[in-house]
Chain A
Amino acid sequence: MSDTLSPQIRFGSNAGQPATRRDGLAKVTGVATFAADNTPEGLLYAVYAPAKIARGRVSHLDVAAAEAHPGVTHVITPQNRPELQGDPSAKPTMFSFRTEVLQDDTVCYAGQPIALVLGETLEAATEGARLLAPQYVADPVRVALDDNLATSFEPAGFGLPGGASHGDVEAGHAAATRSIDVSYETAAQYHNAMETHAIVAQWDGDRLTLDTPSQALNLSCAGFAYFFGIPPENVTLRSPYIGGGFGSKAIPTGPQVLAILAARMTQRPVKLMFTRQQMFGPVGHRGATRQRLRLGVDENTALTVIDHEGLAETSTFDDFVEPAANASQDLYAAGALRASHRLVRLDVGTPGPMRGPGEASGSAALECAMDEMAEVAGMDPLEFRLRNYAETQPGTGLPYSSKALRECYAEGAARFGWEGRPLEPRQMQGADGLLTGWGMGTALFPCPMFAAEARATLRPDGTALFETSAVDMGQGAWTVLAQIAADSLGLTLDQVEFRAGHSALPDGGVAGGSGHTATAGGALHAAGGDVLRQLGELATEDPQSPLYGAGNSSLVARDGWLLLEEDESRRERFADILIRAGQTEMTGTGHGGRAPEAAGRHAMNSHGAVFAEVKVDPDLCQVRVTRLVGAFAAGRIINPRLTESQLMGGMIWGTSFALHEAARHDRRSGRIVNADFAGYHVPVNADVSGLEVITVHEDDPYVNALGIKGVGEIGIVGTVGAIGNAIWHATGKRVRHFPIRIADLLAP
């Protein structure tokens, strides 16, 4: 049946072009509508009261005071909360956590919702929630890694990561002529997308319409529907623009469920928008870790062992353990490898995936440990990494689907000017008196794919409509997916109408794991191919077509024509094929996902190398990252402009991880004391200069049909370590925790 193969399409006419964002005009003129921008008629505002203790129970709420406040219409507490049809402790979808929806008066973490107030205005609801003035019976809190016992666990699906062990680890330790045994800590971090979680919920009978940001529209529909005993298809979720997600917007949260419940109870539309402070609570976070790394090298400076133990916090009521140790298993050739994880239960909200889960925290520790090992070995850090370059996947010996990491090292080092870097620290001081240090780190991120569906409709005017419920949270789906779609039919970008961000469309899957472009893009590409296959069949089987009798596999599509590859004079317009067949349009469908047979044959990762320059005031110890050069190999780059932005964004997250982000708890109440942008620092514009991104060409025939690997998260990986190492190189101080702050460098 070779004749039913899709005709070839001309690839690269749109893919590879640095198109500006298709949603750019809407975003710069303020007409791009984010969830909370919707204000339907008859709206009620909902504001939830967060617990200000981390453990205990709520003993009193002044409901009367709240109700008496002008404009307040309802106060919902555990005492009067209408029933939910789904059990909030259950896990209705593959990414679910126990959801806090006013089950009872128990408090398990600070920031947990303890009541919901509805009002005719935002001002009234806000003040009503404050007037509840909760009183508590508080128990002693456990908010630091040492506040509770560390325990091991049985790996189980999402949240409880397995470890790994390859080779004889004990023998690896024994074979080392030089070794290090170091422990690194990373702080708890909160996603803090600029758009807080918001929801506008409207019921019409048993049908629910939601405006809420979601990284996984159809999954979210199923999640929300579960609580209300309605089928997922009764939920319409609109999420055309998402103001950043970073992993926090894939999973329904308690306050969102409560807002929907309030809308059902009142039979009015309800809007709830988290405050910034409320973003430090029920929406997940990157859990704090403590990681022990034992590395050994033999007399040839070859790694004999990487032994990585991770300890991570989780909540008292659900499981998500940062899979940090796994980050060291795929990167360097070592005789033996081991990754293991333990957890400690604390009175915090359940952590969750946050940009680069596992890899970001794990790489921070690993890349600094590699630097320490290089130092012990008296070797340049880059040379040491090259010395231990993995030609095949460590442990398994699987070939890599592609791995241009060597080129990343070379191009990054050249651009940065790494050569000639003094081995010893504290050797570079500029005319400005500032200490200068250079450090590097390797970046790796896997290439997972989820599943996505798409539909393509060729119209008689030669344009096409592509549909999938993909989401754009800033990564550029509106643009990049349209480029892929256009190429799938050989059309130009402006001939393609692209619909996404709406749950009624074919399931676009999850925008996560850096796999959305590959997965949803794969679905779109396949949908376009399905149309071409049908067109080809019509044409080649129709005696009236110039293409009659041609093999379908020798057709190409270009600019609205099907052409015979070896004789381009034999061609026919899409529209003419349709018209003659009496069809007004033609629809194709496509699926995106990893081919099962491809998964086991190759190890698949994006790679990169990050080089950092920091300047440190020798007396005041304030740090500034002055240059950051990242070279990344991530398969086919669909849009260089947007890819550069993604990678730069990730590198800025690396700066943030290395120097800024840490949630600090009050040790008595467990409350996060810096739950705002004045106290919880992320970089501002002045923190970012000298940023450069290089993308290294990589053809990957195995990762998926499009050769796409993904760029959303890898930028953060490697950068944290590079900055930590640069600080050591500048100051001679090896700080073994993140963020690195002034006090750490001031210490004698």
Chain B
Amino acid sequence: MIDSKLYIDNNKTVTYGIFENPDKFLDTVGKVHAKGVHIIDCYTPYPLHGIDKAMGLKRSLLPIGAFIFGCCGFLTAFSLQYYMMTYDWPMVIGNKPTIGMSWVPVLFEMSILFTAFGLAFIFFFRSKLLHGKMPSERFDFRQTDDRMVVAIATDDRSIDKTELSSMLFNGGAVIVKERTNHDYDDFTDVEINRPVQYN
């Protein structure tokens, strides 16, 4: 369920570009991904349509999780009702059979309840919204306001660092930085200068 690649390793060098224009951001992310560079994640203040395809995100496994949780809820409700209403103390209400249609509402509700809770917990786990965990992906204070950030792993040497930074700048990045230490209150950022343009 959890893609380990999305966790930023403390020892990795991460280059990140900060953008102000969503269209330029989307284009640049697409180009960087097309180069075969591993994009760790994108941070945008609002959902950006098409970003999942542009950064080459794989399909989420969430639906499978939903299905499993739903089945769990169904089985729980089934065994609960079977134990209570049929096995332990058979209760005949309104002369209805102890196994039957009267189970449907509980089966339905429990399936939904389990699916909803399960998905909520998976969501918290997946987006690292756990108690006591501080976010390590704070690249720019305005990434929750009006700026978009793309974080790119530059350790695997699939792309030259200067080439990457010039690509980001040409694509419309306002700032490009390199981070080597990812602790919440102790990180090292090196700002990369805009390449000089010779016209």
> Real complex partners, A and B?
no
Which B residues have a C-beta under 8 Å from some C-beta of A?
none
